[in-house]
Structure 1
Amino acid sequence: MIVRTALVFAALAGMATAEGLQFPSNADLMRDEVQAVDSYALPMGIWENGALPMQTVEGRVVRQAWRISAQSLTTLQILRPLREQLRNDRFRILFECQTEACGGFDFRFAVDTFPPPEMRINIGDFRFLTAVRTTAEGEEYVTLFVSRTAEAGFVEVTSISPAAMPSIVQGADAAPLRSFETGQDVDLAAQLEEVGRSILSDLTFETGSAQLGEGPYASLQELADYLFRFPQRTVALVGHTDAEGGLEANIALSKRRAASVLERLVSVYGVPRRQLEAEGMGYLAPIGNNLTEEGREANRRVEVIVTSIKE
């Protein structure tokens, strides 16, 4: 089995930071600053017409810079697991961009960041994200500035929370956040309502095959019941694999498995095809460590994700 750089986030012996964000074990905290009460200019759009749209927010401001020691990482490989964790904890993405689409040089230098060596920005390859969630105390904001060099990836995390709240940025000893529960006892409908996704954990496939086993499967009945109850909602069935084999082959296999689940929902459970789509991620979104059999088994899965944005 070939373990690729895309899987550095599967090595979850790591550290936690903003919103319990899980960093891999080869990540080092380079700088950590806390202001109990301060203001922060929050980037809210791309650089255009000579300006960067900003929103000034006030509260407890915590900034951290992280260095991930791994060659050949892409900025998307760094950002995607962090973005997914934020979404799972009910953050809403307000703004996201990449390099030239952000505004390139002008955007980069309009955003305040730590200087090298704590944070290094490759002017030709970076990504930025602003997210928010609403709490009883007020709005919480998080920004991620992600870049890379030939030797390492870099992430600057900034959080702004209401001053009365405990900071959402925690130290490296913080317990990791579980993004969502797994296992066959999970209430699928409740999980779709709360976090917008769930693992169809009782599905079985033959090794290397895209053919769904005969079943029956309680998770598919639960999903069908959910979609009948909400006929205007749509979902994506997303296949995932372990890291054995090539990326293209794994993406193709994972998509065929998701398509097999889709066809079963339509043909056996009567779910309207218009409510379903099938996609495959291959090994790019692991939830377990591919270095162990238990982790590889967890990674071989099909998830359902709510794709509706309104009723």
Structure 2
Amino acid sequence: MTGPRRSPLSVAAVAAAFLVALPGAALSLDIELPPGAVIVQSGPQVDGRFEIAEGPWQDGSVPTREVSGLVQRMTWQMPATDTATVDLVSARFESELAAQGFEILLSCRDRACGGFDFRHRLDMGQGPEMHVDIGDFRYVSAVRDDGSGAAAVTVSRGGDTLYVNAVHVGEGPARGAWVIPSNRAPELAGADGTATADETPLTSPPEVETGLVATLLAGGAAPLDDLGFRTGASELSGQDYASLTALAGFLAADADRRVILVGHTDSEGGREANIALSEARARSVRRYLIETLGVAPEQVEAAGIGFLAPRATNVTPEGREANRRVEVVLLDAG
């Protein structure tokens, strides 16, 4: 695997930082990340809601708390080294959150969190910018003592790359970017460390590699974007799918390869019904791979998480269509 992808605004070998602008307060959360950290995704502040976990997966669910306010998301990638590990980087976030008046609700590691079930119950970011290895990640959630904000951080590793996804929910009017380059990177920030007025919004860099298999190997997951599902329908709406043909060839080349198909829906309808529908969609894709393309049943599993991990808005027909999808996740052999 190659190193982390760099956005046009990244500065090589400069430590990234994340500053949480707390409306109405002078304090900010400034966490220095290891050298080589690159911001690869930054969303705008959007008034909305976000779910953070209060405990690990248990009794078939994850206990969550819904927080509302200005939601800001940021994703970094960096080389994984002896000083940039999943545990060390997540510990740094946790320590600084606590130091800045946040109460840590949950700090857990992969299997202790609940593994696959925990990961796919929560929004931890989307590929290719964010990769979550269900066997190698840490999750931290926190709320401010005065109730003015909340945060969720996921750190994971994929190959030689470390991935960090952070979400902050705060109160008050937007005051520039929530996460901006630190004043340790003056080329990208004002003299006081705040975003400059004409700052260009950060966007995801273009893909260097193309093709389903390349995306799957690089990030551990890939969307099957040529599949089609109508609202409320679980059966595939077409007959020929290049993504499934490529996936079948990938699995046939090595009998030890295993994947899980994860179904997603739009937000129309109830939560339980949509989870059942998303599972049905994943099972229909699994059936197609086995019955039509000859994939060995033991190489492919199926699961569904309903509308809990949208990749687009559910307000528009186009967004809902994008959310009705199945993604493939690469599992460790054995």
Contact 1:144–1:157 (CA<8 Å) still a contact in 2?
no
Matched, 1:260 2:284: yes
Paired amino acid for 2:301: E
Q: 1:145 to 1:20 in 2, by over 3 A?
A: closer
- Deviations, residues 84-117 of structure 1 (Å, cap 9, x unaligned): 2487346876532567xxxxxxxx9xxxxxx777
Offset of 1:55 from its aligned partner?
7.1
Q: How many residues align?
A: 227
Offset of 1:286 from its aligned partner?
1.2
Instruction: Tell me, in whole angstroms, the C-alpha distance in 2 between the residues paired with 1:223 and 1:244.
Output: 29
Offset of 1:21 from its aligned partner?
3.5
Specify the alignment match of 1:303 in structure 2: 327
Offset of 1:226 from its aligned partner?
0.7
Which sections of structure 2, spanning at least 5 residues, go unmatched?
A: 1-37, 48-69, 73-82, 101-117, 172-177
TM-score between both structures, scaled by the size of structure 1: 0.55
Write out aligned runs for 1:238-249 (5 A).
238-249=262-273
- Deviations, residues 42-86 of structure 1 (Å, cap 9, x unaligned): 9948xxxxxxx9679xxxx9xxx9xxxxxxxxxx99x944x3248
Specify the alignment match of 1:88 in structure 2: 129
Offset of 1:248 from its aligned partner?
0.9
TM-score between both structures, scaled by the size of structure 2: 0.51
Specify the alignment match of 2:203 in structure 1: 176
Offset of 1:230 from its aligned partner?
2.8
Identity of aligned residues (%): 31
Specify the alignment match of 2:316 in structure 1: 292
Offset of 1:201 from its aligned partner?
2.0
Which sections of structure 1, spanning at least 5 residues, go unmatched?
A: 1-16, 30-39, 46-52, 66-75, 100-107, 109-114, 150-155
Instruction: Tell me, in whole angstroms, the C-alpha distance in 1 between the residues paired with 2:250 and 2:86.
Output: 38
Paired amino acid for 2:306: G
Instruction: Tell me, in whole angstroms, the C-alpha distance in 2 between the residues paired with 1:236 and 1:258.
Output: 9
- Deviations, residues 160-206 of structure 1 (Å, cap 9, x unaligned): 9xx7998899957422327979xxxx511111111222222222345
Specify the alignment match of 1:33 in structure 2: none
Paired amino acid for 1:96: Y
Instruction: Tell me, in whole angstroms, the C-alpha distance in 2 between the residues paired with 1:177 and 1:260.
Output: 32
Contact 1:145–1:157 (CA<8 Å) still a contact in 2?
no
Instruction: Tell me, in whole angstroms, the C-alpha distance in 1 between the residues paired with 2:194 and 2:322.
Output: 28
Q: 1:219 to 1:85 in 2, by over 3 A?
A: closer
Specify the alignment match of 2:29 in structure 1: none
Paired amino acid for 1:238: V
SS for the counterpart of 1:210 is coil
SS for the counterpart of 1:84 is coil
What is the aligned-residue RMSD (CA, Å)? 5.1
Specify the alignment match of 1:225 in structure 2: 249
- Deviations, residues 115-135 of structure 1 (Å, cap 9, x unaligned): 7779646xxxx7554456898
